[in-house]
């Protein structure tokens, strides 16, 4: 599974998110992109692309739950 984190999510919400996901999703590739085309949701919610599909959550814990359920 490839996880791409929006740069704005990191800057606005959680600058340790990449490290957190790398530790908690050990087999997955975690990348950072300047923009993932989510129309600004990334500045107020956690937005990542998983294999090209957006996954949105209100907290890093909820994001991890969603990633583990995929």
* DSSP run (H or E) holding 12: helix 7-12
- Check: CB of residue 12 under 8 Å from CB of residue 42: yes
Q: What is the pLDDT of residue 4?
A: 93
What residues does 47 pair with on adjacent strands? 56
State the 10-residue block means of pLDDT for the chain, 70 residues long: 89 92 88 81 85 92 93
The pair of structure tokens assigned to 38 is 């989510």
Token readout for 14 is 């959680």
Q: Which two tokens stand for residue 55?
A: 């996954």
């Amino acid at each position: 599974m490839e996880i791409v984190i929006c740069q704005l999510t990191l800057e606005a919400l959680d600058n340790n998110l990449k490290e957190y996901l790398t530790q908690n999703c050990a087999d997955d590739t975690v990348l950072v992109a300047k923009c993932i085309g989510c129309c600004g949701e990334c500045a107020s919610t956690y937005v990542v692309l998983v294999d090209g599909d957006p996954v949105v959550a209100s907290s890093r814990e909820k994001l991890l739950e969603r990633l583990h359920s995929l």
